[in-house]
Structures are given as C-alpha cells and as structure tokens.
Chain A
Amino acid sequence: MATESKLAPIRKGLLEFLVLKIVGVSSVYVPDILRRLAGTEFATQEGTLYPLLSKLRREELVLYEWQESDAGPPRKYYRLTDAGRAQLAALDEYWNQINRTIADIGH
C-alpha cells in the first residue's frame, strides 16, 4: 500500500520518542516496554529495541541498573537520566507544536 510506505518512516522516527516516554514513567525492563507498545501502531521487537536502547544509553539519555528477578538471571531496568528527561520535555513540546501546525495549516 502506497500510504503504508509513507507511514512506516514516521512510526520509525517516533519510536525513540515513545520509548523515552515509557522509560520516563517508571523504571522498566525490555519486556515491559514491548508490552506497553504491543497492540499500538508502534508494536516492536527486541531486535529493534536493544539497539535503540544501546544508542540512547550512549547518548546518556537513559541508564540501566541490574535488578534481581525471582525467576532467572538479573534484569536490566532502564530509566531516564536528567538529560533524557530534558530531551523528552523538548520532544513533547515540539510534538505539540507540530500537532498545532498540522491542525491549523489545512484551514
């Protein structure tokens, strides 16, 4: 579908924003993030998420700490750094602004 090929890059570009939002709510590990996105337009997979989180960690927007789990090995729990929080606020603001522009420009 022609529309789909135009929508896919938009979703792809927004995934990082959504991941920052989810990590911003509470400290989460990857299956939590996957569950949160499952059933939305942004449903994704570990193969996508781990490289993205690694990039965000390198950019010092998120950090993780190990937490013991009742079953299996310890898990990586991700949370936002101060820089991550600042970037999320900026993205939120920008997103609202874009939405206003899109709503206004057609009239």
Chain B
Amino acid sequence: MKRISVTVSLNRSTLQFDDAAYARLDRYLAESASLLEGDPDPQEILGDLEQAVADQCTRRLQPDQAVVTLAELEPALEEIGSVQVPGAAAASGSAARESTRPLQQISEGAVVSGVCLGLARYFGLNVTALRIFAVLLLLLSGGGVIVVYIALMLLFPYAPLQRGGQPLGWLPARSRAFIEYVRVKFHLATN
C-alpha cells in the first residue's frame, strides 16, 4: 500500500499534494515562519503566502491532473521567492545592523542553545573565550549557572535563521523546540 496524496488546506484553497511536494511545501512554510520571527503579524503573511502557493500550483496543473508534484511546486516557490522582511539590511547584512542587533540566542552554530553565541555577538566578545568562561563558572558555581542559562534561554528571542544557513545541531534544535513549547504552554511572549 502506498499513500498517493495528502489533502492540504492552504488559506482559502484546498489542494492535493504528493508526499514529496508536501514535504517541500512544509519546509518552505517553516522557513518562512522562522524568517518572520519578530514580525508582529506573521499569520497574515503566512496566509497570503499559502494562498500564493495554492494559486501558483493551480495555474500549473494540467487540466486532467489532480495532484500537485514537485514539478509544479518547485517553479511555483521559485516564482514566489523566499520571505524578505522589509527594512532588513540587504542580503549579507551590513555591519551597522550587526551592531544594533538585540540580545538574541543564535541556533546556528550553537553548542547548547546559542545563548553564549548571542551574548558574544551582542558584546563583541570572542565566543570561545566566553564559552570557556561559562564552563568555568559552571564548575565554580556548582550548577547555579544552569539556572541562569535556562532563564536566558527563556528570555532571549531567537535570531531568525539565515536563508540557506547551516543545519541546526541536534541539541540546539531540541533546545529551541523545548523553549518554544514552554513559551506556548505558559504564554510567554518573546519577539
């Protein structure tokens, strides 16, 4: 037995996707959501993008074709393009913006959750030195630093993931998922 298609509700449209196309779409929407972190109204934009995907795919379907495959989805996503947040610095990010960034935790290249990385970037410190200092502090404080670290994990918003950035490590990804779960559960709003 093989699952042929998935019914996907995209804003005001409903379409059939095969598994590969569904996985690709899921990835695109997740990327869009993470790029929109910090936007006050991500749901509206995501809804608009879903509708754009639905319209583009519908336009590309052959008259007798019911299921959207990668052959329709890839060019559709290509045409829609990835999310560009207005006001954000162009592509690689200018030095000026780098220095005005708020305190954030950075999942990409993190060891645990990216708190040290975020602190290092904010204060312009060497991240390795800061991590060594944190580990020393952990040994000296007998674990008290763990509490501080978790508190900072809850307090710092996540830096948006870079487009085409490196994949997250296992622990940073888990930390992020955990914190997002806790935030939703206890209605802790950051960003």
Does A51 lie within 8 Å of B86, measured CB to CB? yes
Does A46 lie within 8 Å of B52, measured CB to CB? yes
How many of chain B's residues have a CB under 8 angstroms from any CB in A?
29
Does B49 lie within 8 Å of A54, measured CB to CB? no
A58 to B43, CA, bound (A): 13
Does A51 lie within 8 Å of B85, measured CB to CB? yes
A73 to B79, CA, bound (A): 20
| B85 CB to nearest chain A CB (Å) | 6
| B102 CB to nearest chain A CB (Å) | 19
Does B91 lie within 8 Å of A46, measured CB to CB? no
Q: Does B171 reach chain A (CB closer than 8 Å)?
A: no
Does B13 lie within 8 Å of A73, measured CB to CB? yes
Known: A8-B91, A47-B32, A51-B84. 4 other contacts (CB 8 A): A46-B81, A47-B81, A48-B81, A48-B83
B interface residues, Cβ below 8 angstroms from A: 11-13, 32, 36, 39-41, 44-45, 48-49, 51-52, 54-55, 58, 79-87, 89-91
Complex A-B: 29 CB contacts under 8 Å: A9-B90, A30-B48, A30-B52, A45-B80, A46-B52, A46-B79, A47-B49, A47-B80, A47-B82, A47-B83, A47-B84, A48-B83, A48-B84, A50-B52, A50-B83, A51-B36, A51-B39, A51-B85, A51-B86, A52-B84, A52-B86, A55-B86, A55-B87, A72-B55, A72-B58, A73-B11, A73-B54, A74-B12, A76-B48
